Amino acid sequence: MTSQPRLVQVRQQVLKQNDVVARALRKRFAEAGVFVVSLVSGPGAGKTSLLRETLLQLGGRFKVAALVGDLATENDARRLAESGAPVRQIVTGTLCHLEAAMIERAMEGWDLADLQILFLENVGNLVCPATYDLGENLRVVLISTTEGEDKPLKYPTIFNTADLALVTKIDLAEVVGFDRAAAHAAVQSVRPGMPVIELSARSGAGMDQWLDFIGEHLRAGSETPSVEPVNSEIA
């Protein structure tokens, strides 16, 4: 009756192909010393606002760049370019997530040796991006206080594939009646031990903690590469 099994089967083939490309990307990033952070969330959780502030504040200390995915429009790339960092838009059409091959194509012409941190902003979607490895070192999932506390329970897969949860728009917590304890409990029930940072790109609350988190993982990443040993063949 339902076509799900067949679609799932094809998806698995697509995923395998994506994993091959993602693995090659991860190798290239490691060799070039680029630390890659991806951001995933539902629409309007504040990825672009956070990224704009992040690029502005890290731009003085590191060589940063960003790739941003959207179904349509180049609005986000324009907003982010105001930070002065190199930014490119990936327009996905009707596709609900970024794939590793899109990242590879979008970077064409960029000298990775000239970069230290690359941010990847995924399409606004709490479902599809979950199973696509983009070669990132750190996957960050955002939930905003305005979305409600139950999102980790309702979208467990994306939380299970993330390394850090950000509770965004924390300046609005009170006005929307956001239950912080319930949100933290929801995150921990889905992914025990996952670090959570509350912040607001607008008020600046929590931004230091977020930037420090990246800084610490950047240093840790350059000391002990997180990638598995790879063959020496040139991609």
* Residue nearer to a copy of itself on the CB measure, 164 or 186: 186
Please say which residue, 155 or 213, places its beta carbon nearer to a copy of itself: 155
Stretch that binds a copy of itself, among 11-19, 29-37, 50-58, 227-235 (CB under 8 A): 11-19
| Block residue for tokens 């020496």 | 232
Reading the block at residue 231, the tokens are 């063959």
- If the CB atoms of residues 61 and 154 are measured against a copy of itself, the closer one turns out to be 154
Q: Which residues lie closer than 8 Å to 170 by C-beta, 6 or more apart?
A: 145, 198, 199, 200, 203, 205, 206
Judged by CB under 8 A, which stretch of 2-10, 25-33, 58-66, 224-232 contacts a copy of itself? 2-10
Where in 149-168 is the site for a copy of itself (CB under 8 A)?
Answer: 150-151, 153-157
Per CB under 8 A, does 175 bind a copy of itself? yes
Give whichever of 17 and 222 is closer to a copy of itself, judged by the CB atom. Answer: 17
Q: Is 154 helix (H, G, I), strand (E, B) or coil?
A: helix
Of 11 and 63, the one with the shorter C-beta distance to a copy of itself is 11
- Is 106 one of the binding residues for a copy of itself (CB under 8 A)? no
CA distances from 118 to 142, 166, 177, 234 (A): 18, 18, 35, 22
Buried b (16+ CB within 10 A) or exposed e, 109-147: ebeeeebbbbbbbbbbbbebbbbbbbbbbbbbbbbbbeb
Residues of span 111-140 touching a copy of itself by CB under 8 A: 123-128, 130-131
By CB under 8 A, tell whether 96 contacts a copy of itself: yes
Q: What six digits make up the tokens of 62?
A: 């590191």
The runs of H, that is alpha helices, within 4-149 are: 4-32, 47-58, 75-81, 100-106
Q: What sign does the CA torsion over 230, 100, 139, 56 have?
A: positive
- State the residues that interact with a copy of itself by CB under 8 A: 1-4, 6-7, 10-11, 13-14, 17-18, 21, 42-45, 70-73, 75, 94-96, 99, 101-102, 104-105, 123-128, 130-131, 143-144, 146-148, 150-151, 153-157, 169, 172, 175-176
